[in-house]
Amino acid sequence: MASPRVLIVDDEQPLARILSFALENEGYRVSVANDGIDCMNKVSTFAPDVVIMDIMMPKLDGLEAIRLLRQNQLHRGMAILAISAKSTASVQREATEAGADCFLKKPFQVAGVVREVESLLAAKGIR
């Protein structure tokens, strides 16, 4: 089976870099998008199994991007892990309502992100 694909969507470049470093170490294929629009473009070409989506981003924010992804039949099977540094309690609810499968609050442990990605894939029977 080919390596599962993870798309990291975050405008915070150092963070996107370290996440892709960790996930590549685990054997994933990783791509990075810098905002919601970039994400929509990369999704169709890269066809990720999991999307790690930041919420507050320029151009198109994470919530909107999740909604758009969920509207598209092609991306139905894709798992979405939302992440945010926003402190209000409502973010997690909003993300889940928009269609995220789970949510992690920043700052997080990188190992925790890797674990979430693994369990999302396991739930979908990919790994």
Task: List contacts with other proteins (CB under 8 A).
Answer: 11-12, 14-15, 17-19, 21-22, 54, 56-59, 61, 85-88, 106-111
- Which residue, 19 or 79, is less far from other proteins as judged by CB? 19
Tell me how far, at minimum, the Cβ of 13 lies from other proteins, in Å.
Answer: 9
- Which residue, 56 or 121, is less far from other proteins as judged by CB? 56
Tell me how far, at minimum, the Cβ of 121 lies from other proteins, in Å.
Answer: 21
Is the backbone peptide bond immediately before 107 cis, with ω within 30 degrees of 0?
Answer: yes
Two structure tokens written together for 32: 């990075």
State which H helix or E strand residue 9 sits in.
strand 5-9
- Which residue, 32 or 57, is less far from other proteins as judged by CB? 57
Tell me how far, at minimum, the Cβ of 58 lies from other proteins, in Å.
Answer: 3
State which H helix or E strand residue 31 sits in.
strand 29-33
- Amino acid at position 5, single letter: R
Tell me how far, at minimum, the Cβ of 25 lies from other proteins, in Å.
Answer: 9
- Which residue, 17 or 44, is less far from other proteins as judged by CB? 17
Q: Are 80 and 54 in contact (CB under 8 A)?
A: no
Those residues whose C-beta lies under 8 Å from the C-beta of residue 123, and which sit 6 or more positions away, are: 79
